[in-house]
Amino acid sequence: MHAGCASVQETGAAESVNGKVTALRERYKVPAMAWALVADGAVVEIGAQGMTRAGGIDQVTVNSRFHIGSNTKAMTALLAGISVDKGELKWDTTVGEMLPRGGYDVSEAYAAITLRQLLSHTSGVPTLMDREHWLAHFTSGASGPVQRRRMVDEVLALPPDFDPGSRSSYSNMGVVVAGAMLEVAAGSDWEDLIKSRLFEPLGLERAGFGPPAADGVAGGPWGHAPDPVDPTSAGADNPPGLGPAGTVHASIADLAAYLRVWLDEGKPLVSRQSYDVIVTDVLDGFALGWFVFRTGDGLVLTHDGSNTMFYSSIYLLPEKDIGVVVTANSGGAEKAVHELTQYLLERALRQ
């Protein structure tokens, strides 16, 4: 078995996956990858292979933390479901009803946008503020909650891209505005909410925010774009204020446990009613935090994530009780990640 890899399958199967990963890493020049296949209520495959940094000597393990980028959005959708179940707000609570309670100035153009529209990319909120303000957030040094307030103020000062609900357009800042609504409703920062309501109940011990190696913990993978990016540098991740849309990192072991929520109708975090809302296509294949469609294998929930230095992909077949997550410490690893995802799915569907 390749060093740095763990698997709950028998040795021959694990070596088969390792061989596939080795070939993909060599072909696409990916320093490290980690993967998990969950099926029939169990982790069928889990492993990690490669180096934390190109040219380095430290190998990744299943406990190494990888940045998941926009796969954070489905976590924020889960937080929304928890908040709805607690009665803190509703799926159709509007920006105008909630944000002024937190001291935000909401114009008439944004007042009628709902939480559901924000999380499904049908709100009309621009994806980012203007370039000057966006770049300034990388070096502001502000905490996530402080920076997020500024981001929301800046984007809500812009004209909407379209009338809410009239069409879809992927919007990072729409999800950030949703995160701000959750903060006001619960009276707590998004970072604290996701830790107390999602990470801790699921036992995600290595989940956190920002560049995985920024805290100096041994074995933390560096991002690559394509060269190694110093995890303490200003551009090593999205600005922290973007949290609800894309700043989470986690180990592949954490992510394997996280997949079970989506394969088990939201248990133990949200009600079946909230789960159904989250995974329902609102418009153009956008559900809440997911892209959804149906195949011969039933409902598909899928999403990719990247902060341009890491890459992740999740592909779920809830009706088959099959889920795959693949991560890599290279922003250019899309093809390698997708090929490994497809390989693991085909293995699961053959069994």
Q: How far apart are CA 252 and CA 295, in angstroms?
A: 27
Per-residue pLDDT at 7 exceeds 80: no
Sequence-ordered list of residues with C-beta below 8 angstroms from that of 341, at least 6 positions apart, any chain? 313, 315, 324, 326
Read off the pLDDT of residues 330-351 as tens digits, 9 standing for 90 and up. 999 999 999 999 999 999 998 7
Q: How far apart are CA 350 and CA 87, in angstroms?
A: 43
Read off the pLDDT of residues 276-327 as tens digits, 9 standing for 90 and up. 999 999 999 999 999 999 999 999 999 999 999 999 999 999 999 999 999 9
Indicate the pLDDT class of residue 12, thresholds 50, 70 and 90: low
> In whole angstroms, how large is the CA radius of gyration of the chain?
19
CATH class of 11-69+208-237+246-350: alpha beta
Q: What is the pLDDT of residue 319?
A: 97
Residue ranges of the domains in the chain?
A: 11-69+208-237+246-350, 74-190
Strand order in the sheet with 65-67: 65-67, 248-251, 208-209
pLDDT, mean over the chain: 93
Of the two residues 216 and 44, the one the predictor is more confident about is: 44
Q: What is the pLDDT of residue 217?
A: 65
Indicate the pLDDT class of residue 15, thresholds 50, 70 and 90: low
Q: How far apart are CA 66 and CA 69, in angstroms?
A: 9
Q: What is the pLDDT of residue 220?
A: 87
Identify the CA nearest to 299 among candidates 329, 263, 325.
263
Q: How far apart are CA 202 and CA 257, in angstroms?
A: 7
Q: Is there a common fold for 11-69+208-237+246-350 and 74-190?
A: yes
Cβ(193)–Cβ(182) under 8 Å? yes
Cβ(101)–Cβ(184) under 8 Å? yes
Identify the CA nearest to 274 among candidates 111, 115, 70.
115
Q: How far apart are CA 327 and CA 310, in angstroms?
A: 7
Identify the CA nearest to 129 among candidates 105, 164, 153, 97.
153
**In degrees rounded to 5, what are phi and psi of residue 49?**
-150, 140
- 3-class SS at 19? helix
Q: For domain 74-190, which architecture applies?
A: 3-Layer(aba) Sandwich (3.40)
Tokens of 245: 């849309």
Read off the pLDDT of residues 162-208 as tens digits, 9 standing for 90 and up. 999 999 999 999 999 999 999 999 999 999 999 999 999 999 999 99
**Which 8-state DSSP code applies to residue 265?**
T
Read off the pLDDT of residues 212-263 as tens digits, 9 standing for 90 and up. 998 766 668 999 999 999 999 988 999 999 999 999 999 999 999 999 999 9
Average pLDDT over residues 55-76: 96
Q: How far apart are CA 315 and CA 291, in angstroms?
A: 10
Read off the pLDDT of residues 109-162 as tens digits, 9 standing for 90 and up. 999 999 999 999 999 999 988 888 888 888 888 899 999 999 999 999 999 999
Count the residues in the chain. 351
- In terms of Cβ atoms closer than 10 Å to its own Cβ (0-12, 13-18, 19+), residue 232 is exposed
Tokens of 267: 């248990």
Read off the pLDDT of residues 67-103 as tens digits, 9 standing for 90 and up. 999 999 999 999 999 999 999 999 999 999 999 999 9
Q: What is the pLDDT of residue 133?
A: 86
Indicate the pLDDT class of residue 267, thresholds 50, 70 and 90: very high
Cis peptide before 268 (omega within 30 of 0): yes
Q: How far apart are CA 227 and CA 250, in angstroms?
A: 22
Tokens of 251: 């180990």
Identify the CA nearest to 174 among candidates 301, 331, 288, 309.
288
Question: What is the dihedral sign for C-alpha 292, 49, 232, 217?
Answer: positive
**Alpha carbon separation from 186 to 44, 161, 182, 254 (Å, rounded):** 37, 29, 6, 25
Q: What is the pLDDT of residue 149?
A: 96
